Amino acid sequence: MDLSFLVVQFLSGLASASSLFIISSGLTIVFGVTRIVNFAHGSLYMLGAYFAATLIPRLLDLSYGAPSFWAGVILSALAVGVLGVVMEVLLLRRIYRAPELFQLLATFGVVLVVQDVVLQAFGPQDILGPRAPGLRAPVEIMGRRFPSYELVLIAAGPVVLGLLWLLLHKTRFGVLVRAATQDREMVGALGVNQALLFTGTLFLGAFLAGLGGALQIPKAPATARMDLDIIAETFVVTVIGGMGSIPGAFLASLLIGQLQAFGILIFPKITLVLVFLLMALVLVVRPYGLLGRPEAPAGAHAAAFGTPLRPWSSTEKGIALVVLAALLALPLLGDVYLIKVATEILIFGLFAFSLHFLIGTGGLVSFGHAAYFGLGAYGAALALKHFGVPMELALPLAPIAAALGATLFGFFIVRLSGIYLAMLTLAAAQILYAVAFQWVEVTGGDNGLVGVWPAPWASTRLVYYYFTLAFAAAAVLGLRHVIYAPFGYTLRAARDSELRADAVGIDVRRHRWLAFILAGAVAGLAGGLYVFLKGSIDPSALSIPVSVDALTMLLLGGLQTVMGPLVGAAVLHSLKDQIMPLTELWRMMLGLSIIAMVLLFPKGLVGAFEAARERFAGGGR
């Protein structure tokens, strides 16, 4: 390893840092003003890449040369900027006051819609972009060949940083953006039209995402997976740099670019692990990122809880018993397929219930809960496949594996709150996903692990159904007990006011850590039950869509109700089961449904039902 090699590595690290910065700066500007973390930022990036990959070749056909290429890049970014405006006017404008969980979910709905739109519009094939005219030949640096386009990228980052600085400090729009980042209500009280300001900000943010995507095209093809790949990285950059801080995003991009360039030499497969370690280190030393500033401690608005939980009335106890009896009697219908679907619903209901405990009781909005579901599933599967442990022993290992993972990640996660916490949970899940995907020798990579079957005595659908029902019912009742125990009260106190809970002597962080581990363990149990039902496991069990499925179940069922997640799981899973085989546009429908639910029923189906009942009971009010 000689000096020239290190220099070239360093330069390519700078180039990827530039790309990362351009994308992240857009996310951080939008967050600063609107306080919304735009999950769809990765989708805008992807659209920029697709636009550029299809537009630039046509422009080059008309007139081959560098001006056509760069005009194509700018036009693609502008088009994405316009889409950002559309998104602001149609969606974001309506949810600025919504709890952040709903904001994230709604923008994730956009992610799902864009995925299907891209597939329909551009087809499933990756699209190779053209190379930049005049920059095709590599340059020689200390005797090594280096792509000349990367030199342009290296310059692009600082240029964008400089232009953004000018925009934000030398124009009225920029001054207003910075003022609104601090106190948007006051900006409004001074006569500034916030709606226009926000729309302008979304244009800028989306433009930057699109620019990042378009600039990427000569290096890598446009693919339908690049949205979620980039969003996790972008989250990491903004969390390390500090939310809303553009210089912070620049600094963090530089660090991550170099870490990846050199990390790949030491730890070739899982550079993401190094990135996570960096993020963990930064967050322990500076919980709000390198150049970020503390958010005001979030009160109850963080997850929007209206009515306090109350114990079940005798009617509700009756309903619960009837439901349990119905579940016990369900196999009498004798339909094997129904039993399978019911088993799945039980498993996802349990998974959603553990997330509900974390969010509803703990106040910790996790966007990566699939990590612990997957850890449980992989834990049991690995024990069985690699060590020949029988199911009876492998299944208990599932919650243990998940709890261990939750202990490790939770240590960092509970140091944060609100949006930082949500982003860190997502990043943690993406890291586990990357490990499962890349560590082929152990996890089987993309193919996963197959042949993970239950012990012979539990292998019929019927027995496994009762087996699952027993575990799910026990875990749900156990968690319910915890919610109404002093530990649950303590968590809810800390959820509603962290400062007051702290002031009366509650170790908020420790309680939250325990809650995180407990929720992780229950999710792990669900994962363990899942793997023996399916007989196999692959990395998609840990992926963002699985985390979002669980959140959607909560949204459907409502956050305020203890039994909501089970209802949500039943509704979502049956819908998926019925509709998914009928249409190719399942994701778009799911995405639109999530958006519609956030806009129409922010309290979920059960919450809407309860509100209606209260209004009815309230009579003439």
Partner 1 sequence: MTERPILEVEGLAAFYGQAQVLFDVALVLRRGEVTALMGRNGAGKTTTLKAIMGLVSARARKLEFAGHSIAGLTSFRIARRGLGFVPEDRRIFTDLTVFENLEVGRRPAPGGAEPWTPERLFAIFPNLAEMRGRRASEMSGGEQQMLTIARTLMGNPKAVLLDEPSEGLAPVIVELMARAVNAMKAQGVAVLLCEQNLAFASGVSDRAYIVDRGHIRHEGSIAALSADEALRDAYLSV
Residue 199 engages partner 1 in binding (rule: CB under 8 A): no
Given candidates 74, 117, 192, 274, which one binds partner 1 under the rule CB under 8 A?
A: 192
Q: Which of 116, 74, 88 is nearest to 213 (CA)?
A: 74
Q: Which of 8, 24, 5 is nearest to 254 (CA)?
A: 24
Which of residues 191 and 581 has its CB atom nearest to partner 1 in the complex?
191
Please list, in sequence order, all residues whose beta carbon lies within 8 angstroms of the beta carbon of residue 512, skipping any fewer than 6 positions away: 362, 363, 364, 410, 414, 491, 494
Which of residues 71 and 300 has its CB atom nearest to partner 1 in the complex?
300
Residue 191 engages partner 1 in binding (rule: CB under 8 A): yes
Smallest separation, CB 250 to partner 1 (Å)? 17
Taking the CA atoms of 549, 550, 554 and 557 in sequence, report the sign of the dihedral they define: positive
Site for partner 1, residues 84 to 123, rule: CB under 8 A: none
222 three-class SS: strand
Applying CB under 8 A, what is the total number of residues that bind partner 1? 18
Find the largest Cα–Cα distance for the chain.
Answer: 85
Stretch that binds partner 1, among 145-153, 180-188, 284-292, 572-580 (CB under 8 A): 180-188
Smallest separation, CB 186 to partner 1 (Å)? 4
Residue 308 engages partner 1 in binding (rule: CB under 8 A): no
Residue 182 engages partner 1 in binding (rule: CB under 8 A): yes
Residue 490 engages partner 1 in binding (rule: CB under 8 A): no
Smallest separation, CB 294 to partner 1 (Å)? 14
Smallest separation, CB 380 to partner 1 (Å)? 47
Residue 125 engages partner 1 in binding (rule: CB under 8 A): no
Smallest separation, CB 302 to partner 1 (Å)? 16
Stated length of the chain: 621
Smallest separation, CB 22 to partner 1 (Å)? 23
* 8 A C-beta contact, residue 491 and residue 364: no
Given candidates 66, 90, 163, 183, which one binds partner 1 under the rule CB under 8 A?
A: 183
Question: Could you tell me the CA-to-CA distances from 418 to 17, 358, 562, 604, 618 in Å, in that order?
Answer: 27, 13, 22, 21, 34
The Cα–Cα gap between 194 and 187 comes to 8
Given candidates 120, 125, 193, 459, which one binds partner 1 under the rule CB under 8 A?
A: 193
Given candidates 19, 25, 34, 194, which one binds partner 1 under the rule CB under 8 A?
A: 194
The Cα–Cα gap between 33 and 27 comes to 10
Smallest separation, CB 299 to partner 1 (Å)? 13
Which of residues 21 and 198 has its CB atom nearest to partner 1 in the complex?
198
Given candidates 68, 76, 181, 561, which one binds partner 1 under the rule CB under 8 A?
A: 181
Residue 618 engages partner 1 in binding (rule: CB under 8 A): no
Stretch that binds partner 1, among 118-126, 172-180, 368-376, 501-509 (CB under 8 A): 172-180
Which of residues 225 and 615 has its CB atom nearest to partner 1 in the complex?
615
Smallest separation, CB 621 to partner 1 (Å)? 11
Residue 2 engages partner 1 in binding (rule: CB under 8 A): no
Give 28-78 as a 3 state SS string: HHHHHHHCCCCCCHHHHHHHHHHHHHHHHHHHHHHCCCHHHHHHHHHHHHH
The Cα–Cα gap between 205 and 103 comes to 17
139 three-class SS: strand
The owner of tokens 């900027």 is 81
Token couple for 374 = 């997957």
The Cα–Cα gap between 242 and 23 comes to 15
The Cα–Cα gap between 549 and 347 comes to 13
The Cα–Cα gap between 56 and 68 comes to 7
Which of residues 186 and 462 has its CB atom nearest to partner 1 in the complex?
186
The residue type found at 178 is R
Stretch that binds partner 1, among 184-192, 226-234, 426-434, 595-603 (CB under 8 A): 184-192
- What is the phi/psi pair of residue 130, to 5°? -75, 160
Residue 178 engages partner 1 in binding (rule: CB under 8 A): yes
Residue 219 engages partner 1 in binding (rule: CB under 8 A): no
Which of residues 92 and 391 has its CB atom nearest to partner 1 in the complex?
92
Given candidates 152, 187, 254, 533, which one binds partner 1 under the rule CB under 8 A?
A: 187
Which of residues 192 and 389 has its CB atom nearest to partner 1 in the complex?
192
Question: Could you tell me the CA-to-CA distances from 46 to 80, 127, 157, 159, 418 in Å, in that order?
Answer: 10, 11, 19, 22, 27
Taking the CB of residue 516, how many other CB atoms lie within 10 A of it?
26
Smallest separation, CB 191 to partner 1 (Å)? 3
Site for partner 1, residues 18 to 57, rule: CB under 8 A: none
Residue 190 engages partner 1 in binding (rule: CB under 8 A): yes
Residue 176 engages partner 1 in binding (rule: CB under 8 A): yes
Residue 188 engages partner 1 in binding (rule: CB under 8 A): yes
Given candidates 85, 179, 338, 599, which one binds partner 1 under the rule CB under 8 A?
A: 179
* 8 A C-beta contact, residue 294 and residue 92: no
Given candidates 175, 336, 470, 499, which one binds partner 1 under the rule CB under 8 A?
A: 175
- What is the phi/psi pair of residue 443, to 5°? -95, -5
Smallest separation, CB 421 to partner 1 (Å)? 24
Given candidates 3, 62, 189, 296, which one binds partner 1 under the rule CB under 8 A?
A: 189
Q: What letters, b where the CB count within 10 A reaches 16 and e where it falls short, cover 330-363? A: bbeeeeeeebebbbbbbbbbbbbbbbbbbbbbbb
Work out the end-to-end distance of the chain between its first and last CA atoms, rounded to an integer number of angstroms.
79
Binding site for partner 1 (CB under 8 A): 172, 175-176, 178-179, 181-183, 185-194
